[in-house]
Amino acid sequence: MRLFTALDLPEDVVGNLERLLGELRPVARIGWSTPANLHITTKFIGEWPDERLEELKQTLAAVQARPAIEVAVRKVGFFPNARAPRVFWCGVEAPGLAQLAAETDQATRRLGVEPEKRAYSPHLTLARIKERADLERLHAAIQGLAAIEFGRFAARRFFLYRSRLQPGGSVYTKLAEFPFTS
């Protein structure tokens, strides 16, 4: 099974992003994300054997307790850049989130999961851009956005998700919840 860990978004933030996507979707033919699928990934685990699922859950449950992480969802941009984009993203500002990602990476590394090679960059993937597309209208629409603030919340837990690739897009299933404080 294909797994990752992530923070969920509250309904009001998802609603704000859904309105943004509704506004932008008509201006570019790219692989738009489904608002209900938006999450803040903290660790991509990849393929994991079913028979070791409990071992993984126990390891993640032992990730150090912490106070709630204050999260602000704001701004939009492109990876790697606006001229040759592969991902259209929404920014995430969350002091303490990089520490959670690093501790999750260290914990899963002990189980044989490949460690992250790139610096952690929290974001929400709003769309994937697989082919060259005319993004002139998207760039203009972004410039004309009334707001680039999509909400704030206090994250008090993270989740282990299973990702199944389907013809219409990925389907995510929560397998476990890990509160930050006991």
Q: Of these residues, 39, 76, 90, 129, which one is catalytic?
A: 39
**Active-site residue flag, 139:** no
**Beta-bridge mates of residue 47:** 2
**Active-site residue flag, 39:** yes
Residue 113: is it exposed, middle or buried by C-beta count within 10 angstroms (0-12/13-18/19+)? buried
User: What is the rounded radius of gyration, in angstroms, for the C-alpha atoms of the chain?
Assistant: 17
Contact indicator for 155, 3 with CB cutoff of 8 Å: no
Residue 79: is it exposed, middle or buried by C-beta count within 10 angstroms (0-12/13-18/19+)? middle
C-alpha to C-alpha distance for 173 and 160, rounded to whole angstroms: 9
Q: Of these residues, 123, 142, 161, 180, which one is catalytic?
A: 123
Cis peptide bond prior to 80, omega within 30° of 0: yes
Contact indicator for 180, 156 with CB cutoff of 8 Å: yes
Catalytically annotated residues = 39, 123
